């Protein structure tokens, strides 16, 4: 009788131990970020962007910056466009964006953010010097990062050509993939999708769609980064603002001997151009009931905006980093 009780007690203890190993031992992630490191000390201005995600138990802080438009060299063959004095984007103090990138890297490392996220256009045009320099700068980060593909990152001015196969350029992307990348944060994903194509229109490629679909099926919440803001009926005020400012949602630039260059301002239906089947499928998945996407981070416009794309998807469009403006994205569970 005594041996039977002992055996039962032993079985119960084993079961409890097994349960603890499978669940009790899991630590809730608490961000190492410290707000005692002031962004102002680095010449930066940070906006706090809170994102609540159902089921998340931990806390996470990401640094998000977009559109630094940095130039690290003079290109005589490009005239004023390739001259750091005449073309460089500068902050209010006149400091060119090629210099302020050091401040972003140092602040991220010192404040211990969980990841460094970019919304595209870290550089102003694709050249060997620009590409190699920004890749070297990003390698100095002490945390994971996602480098989002913007329309300027590998753009060779006025030629409408891209250098997607440049090995140095591809190194800056996670797994050398400029179409779709992701970070697994345990409780959710942060992903980056390329949504700007060589013809000047915002579209999603077949490769990018495949990557998105694969992550989508995993079911965990997704915070999605893309360069060009996404448009739905929920962002109608943004669409109207851009139409009032530019007249059209696809802006055309006179590129002299190279003809006209297109630049789409938004990605979505009724945005001034025809969507590809892949882009339509992406938007359908993104906005579907039960979509795991909870937030979109974008850039491109050089002005800020935020609002809801759907009842469950929040979109934040960042202000330009060349003006030293960025965001601390703070993720935690819904109350």
Report if pTM > 0.85: yes
pLDDT in tens, 192-224: 999 987 678 899 999 999 999 999 999 999 999
Q: How many domains does the chain have?
A: 1
Q: Where residue 125 sits, what CATH number does that domain have?
A: 3.60.21.10
Q: 202 in a domain, yes or no?
A: yes
Residue 183 covered by a domain: yes
Q: Decide if 10 is inside a domain.
A: no
Q: What is the pLDDT of residues 39-67, one digit of tens each?
A: 999 999 999 999 999 999 999 999 999 99
Tokens of 129: 């010097």
Closest by CA to 298, choosing from 211, 202, 218, is: 202
Can you give the length of the chain in residues?
Answer: 335
211 lies in some domain: yes
The rounded distance, in Å, linking the Cα atoms of 119 and 278 is: 21
In this structure, is residue 135 part of a structural domain? yes
Q: For residue range 267-283, what is the model confidence (pLDDT) as tens digits?
A: 999 999 999 999 999 99
Task: Catalogue the E-assigned strands of the chain.
Answer: 45-53, 60-65, 115-118, 145-146, 180-184, 189-193, 222-225, 250-254, 260-264, 293-298, 305-308, 314-317, 325-333
pLDDT at 22 over 60: no
Which of 160, 178, 180, 158 has the alpha carbon at shortest distance from 168?
A: 178
Question: For residue 19, is it within any domain?
Answer: no
What is the band of 104 on the pLDDT scale with cuts at 50, 70, 90? very high
pLDDT at 319 over 80: yes
Look at residue 158 and give its three-state secondary structure. coil
| Contact assessment for residue 157 and residue 28, using Cβ atoms and an 8 Å cutoff | no
Closest of 256, 255, 283 to residue 267, by C-alpha: 283
Domain presence at residue 18 = no
């Amino acid at each position: 009788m005594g041996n039977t009780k002992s055996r039962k007690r032993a079985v119960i203890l084993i079961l409890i131990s097994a349960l603890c190993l499978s669940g009790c031992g899991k630590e809730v992630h608490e961000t190492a970020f410290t707000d005692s490191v002031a962004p102002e000390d680095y010449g930066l201005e940070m906006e706090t962007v809170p994102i609540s995600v159902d089921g998340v138990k931990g806390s996470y802080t990401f640094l998000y910056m977009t559109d630094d438009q940095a130039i690290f060299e003079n290109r005589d063959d490009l005239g004023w466009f390739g001259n750091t004095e005449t073309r460089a984007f500068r902050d209010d103090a006149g400091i060119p964006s090629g210099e302020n990138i050091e401040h972003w890297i140092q602040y991220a490392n010192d404040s211990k953010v969980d990841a460094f996220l970019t919304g595209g256009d870290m550089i102003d045009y694709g050249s060997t010097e620009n590409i190699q320099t920004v890749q070297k700068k990003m390698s100095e980060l002490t945390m994971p990062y996602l480098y989002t593909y913007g329309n300027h990152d590998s753009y060779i001015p006025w030629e409408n050509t891209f250098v997607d196969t440049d090995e140095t350029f591809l190194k800056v992307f996670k797994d050398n993939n400029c179409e779709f990348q992701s970070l697994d944060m345990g409780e959710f994903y942060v992903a980056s999708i390329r949504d700007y194509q060589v013809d000047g229109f915002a579209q999603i490629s077949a490769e990018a769609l495949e990557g998105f679909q694969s992550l989508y099926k995993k079911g965990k919440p997704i915070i999605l980064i893309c360069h060009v803001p996404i448009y739905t009926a929920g962002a109608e005020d943004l669409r109207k603002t851009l139409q009032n400012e530019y007249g059209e949602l696809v802006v055309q630039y006179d590129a002299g001997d190279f003809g006209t260059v297109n630049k789409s301002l938004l990605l979505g239906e009724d945005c001034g151009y025809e969507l590809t089947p892949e882009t339509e499928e992406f938007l359908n998945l993104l906005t579907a009931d039960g979509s795991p996407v909870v937030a979109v981070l974008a850039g491109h416009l050089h002005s800020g905006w935020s609002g809801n794309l759907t009842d469950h998807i929040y979109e934040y469009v960042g202000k330009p980093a060349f003006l030293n403006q960025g965001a601390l994205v703070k993720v935690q569970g819904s109350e």
